[in-house]
Amino acid sequence: MAVMRVAQVSRAQGPFEIVERPIPEPGAGSVRIKVQACGICHSDSLTKEGAFPGIKYPRVPGHEVAGLIDAVGPGVEGWKPGHRVGVGWNGGYCGYCDHCRRGEFFACVQGAITGISYDGGYGDYMVAPASAVALMPADLRAVEAAPLMCAGLTTFNALRNSGARPGDVVAVLGLGGLGHLGVQYAAKMGFHTVGIARGKDKEPLARELGASVYIDSQAQDPAAELLKLGGAKVILATTTSGDAMSAVQGGLAVNGMLLVIGAAESMLVSPLWLLSGCRSVKGWYSGTSIDSQDTLAFSVRAGVRPMNETYPLDRVSEAYDRMMSGRARFRVVLTIAE
C-alpha cells in the first residue's frame, strides 16, 4: 500500500508528529492534491491548540496549500490530474444552502475549513472538495503561491472590495505577514499607499514594498499624520493589537473605513467620530476559491510576492514556533515536494 508522510496533531496542545498514512482516495466531488508547499498561518494555532470548537483529532493543519492534482473523485467537473492548484482557509461550500444561493459562499452553513474540518496541507497529499480548489498560474512557484492562499488572499480581497479608488489614501497598519503583502497590493492597485508600523527601521522596507508614505507609530501620532494627507479612505488593520487599531481610527477621512483583518480581541471606537463623518469599522473574511484564483493571477501580473522563510516537513515544529514567535520575515512555508 502506498503511504505518505503527514505532520499531525493528536490532541489539543499536543506536539506535531510525523506519521505515515495510506495515501487517501478522493471521494465524490473531491480531488487529491500532491502537496508541493504549504504555508504556516497563525490560524493553524486553532488546530494545534484546540481552540476551534468541535475540532476532531488527529488532525493535519495547513490551509495555505499549493500543489498538483493527481487524482479526481467521481462527479468532479473541470479539474484534471496535472492541474496546478491551491487550497485556502475556505474548505469548500455546498452550493445549495441559503447563503450559497445568495452568492455568499464564504458563509456556507457547511462551513468547511481546510486543516480544521478535514486534514490540510502539512503532508505529502491531501484531499479537498473541488469547490475549495483554485487554479495556480504556470509562472508562480508553489512556495510563492502558498502564502498567497491565505495572507495574500485576505489582504487582496479586502482591498479590492473596500470601495477605495485609485489615488485614494489607503493605509496599511502593520508590516508583518499580512501587512507586507497588503502594502504591495495597495500600491499595485494604484492607491496612495501609507505604511504604518512601529519603528523607523521599517521605513526602507515599507518603501521598497510600494508605500509612498511611512508613519512610525512610535515616534508619530498615526491619526494626525493621516489627517495631514486628508485622511485615509481605508485603513487596512492587519495587526493583532486592538490598541494599535484604536490609535489609527482618528485618521479616517469622511466616509472612511477601518477594515479589520487582524484578529485582535477588542478595540475602542469613538461613536461620535464614526457618526460625525459617516465613518465605519468593518471586518473582512478572507475569500473563497475563485477569490484565491484571482489573487494568484493578480500577483503574477503585478509582481506581488510574499517574503518567505522555508522549512522541510520534518522541521515542522521549529517552523511553527518560528511563525508563532512573530519574528519570521514574513511568512513561514513548508517545502514538501518542490
Q: Return residues touching Zn ion (CB under 5 A).
A: 41, 43, 93-94, 97, 100, 108, 150
Q: How far is the CB of 162 from Zn ion (least distance, A)?
A: 20
Q: How far is the CB of 294 from Zn ion (least distance, A)?
A: 17
Q: 255: how many CB neighbours lie within 10 A of its CB?
A: 12
Round to whole Å and give the CA distance between 282 and 146. 26
Q: How far is the CB of 75 from Zn ion (least distance, A)?
A: 17
Q: 22: how many CB neighbours lie within 10 A of its CB?
A: 10
Q: Which is nearer to Zn ion, 194 or 332 (CB)?
A: 332
Angle, CA of 279, 285 and 233, to the nearest 5°: 25
Contact 63, 149 (CB under 8 A): yes
Q: Which is nearer to Zn ion, 109 or 278 (CB)?
A: 109
Q: Which is nearer to Zn ion, 105 or 214 (CB)?
A: 105
Look at residues 204, 226, 230 and name the one whose alpha carbon lies nearest to residue 217. 226
**Grid cell digits, residue 258:** 477601518
Q: Which is nearer to Zn ion, 176 or 231 (CB)?
A: 176
Look at residues 67, 48, 55 and name the one whose alpha carbon lies nearest to residue 7. 48
Angle, CA of 41, 47 and 52, to the nearest 5°: 110
Q: Which is nearer to Zn ion, 100 or 146 (CB)?
A: 100
Q: How far is the CB of 168 from Zn ion (least distance, A)?
A: 27
Do the strands 213-216 and 192-197 form a parallel or antiparallel pair, or are they unpaired? parallel
Q: Which is nearer to Zn ion, 7 or 247 (CB)?
A: 7
Q: How far is the CB of 48 from Zn ion (least distance, A)?
A: 13
Q: Which is nearer to Zn ion, 129 or 251 (CB)?
A: 129
Q: How far is the CB of 221 from Zn ion (least distance, A)?
A: 31
Q: How far is the CB of 337 from Zn ion (least distance, A)?
A: 21
Contact 103, 287 (CB under 8 A): no
Round to whole Å and give the CA distance between 170 and 232. 6
Q: How far is the CB of 110 from Zn ion (least distance, A)?
A: 5
Q: Which is nearer to Zn ion, 221 or 294 (CB)?
A: 294
Q: 199: how many CB neighbours lie within 10 A of its CB?
A: 11
Q: How far is the CB of 41 from Zn ion (least distance, A)?
A: 3
